[in-house]
Homo-oligomer: A and B are copies of this chain.
Amino acid sequence: MKLYSYFRSSAAYRVRIALNFKGLDTQIIPVHLLRDGGEQKKPDYLRVNPTGLVPTLVDGDITIAQSMAILEYLEETHPEPALLPADAPGRARVRAIAQTIACDIHPLNNLRVLRYLKNTLEVGDAQRDEWYRHWVGLGLSAIEDMLVQSAQTGRFCHGDQPTLADILLVPQVFNARRLNCDLSAMPNIVRIDAECNTLEPFIAAAPARQPDAEN
């Protein structure tokens, strides 16, 4: 398999964690999102992935865009270890936590949106950072509430085995810390993030461990 990735992309980070769990040896093809106006906007990459976003997974002659679609594909084609619970209600809970990050937090704070705020709407840096923290705070607070409300929260977001919920959570928390978001009111999230980061699949997927990492 090949993964088009950028070390700092949290969507690529999610997929790297899952590939590590599944033990799938994958060639990383770096796509530099900043250099030269963004390699993801070049015609060569747009032929691979018309959205112009990373990640893209290539598995033989199959090419898949969108990190959540990739994660579900990996789960279906390489079911062990399972990253979704066996029961439909449990799967729904895990997907709801994952989608809260994938839909309610990350899309508002990715590079292209922050650039639009700055370049087109001429929003200042302080207001742009405030925007970032606003959506992170709203989304992670909702997840903290979901974790508090449910007896199914365990060592990880859902029970005592890592799931897609944790795989989405760790890269989002990594980003939140980079932008100095306040996580002090989210003890479950902080605890689960720390727990995940003792596990090799999470550790090896971290931005600093990637072939295209920069300081």
Contact = CB atoms under 8 A, between A and B. Distances in A.
Interface of A: 46, 50-53, 62, 64-70, 72-73, 76-77, 88-89, 91-93, 95-96, 98-100, 102-104, 106-108, 113, 116-117, 120-121, 123, 127, 131, 134, 139, 141-143, 145-146, 149
Nearest to A102: B103
A73 B50 contact: no
Contact of A69 (B96, B108, B116, B131): B96
- Does more than half of chain A's interface fall in helix, strand or loop, or is it mixed? helix
Given A62-B89, A103-B107, 20 more contacts: A50-B149, A51-B142, A64-B93, A64-B96, A65-B146, A68-B68, A69-B92, A69-B95, A69-B99, A72-B91, A72-B95, A73-B89, A73-B92, A76-B88, A77-B88, A107-B107, A108-B108, A120-B127, A120-B134, A121-B123
A33 B50 CA distance: 34
Given A69-B95, A92-B62, A106 B103 contact: yes
B104 A51 contact: yes
B121 A66 contact: no
A66 B168 CA distance: 15
Contacts of A131: 116, 120-121
25 contacts: A50-B146, A50-B149, A52-B142, A62-B92, A65-B100, A65-B146, A66-B96, A68-B68, A68-B95, A69-B95, A72-B92, A72-B95, A73-B88, A73-B95, A103-B103, A103-B106, A103-B107, A104-B107, A108-B108, A108-B113, A116-B134, A117-B121, A120-B134, A121-B127, A121-B131
Given A64-B92, A92-B73, A100 B142 contact: no
A100 to B, nearest CB: 6
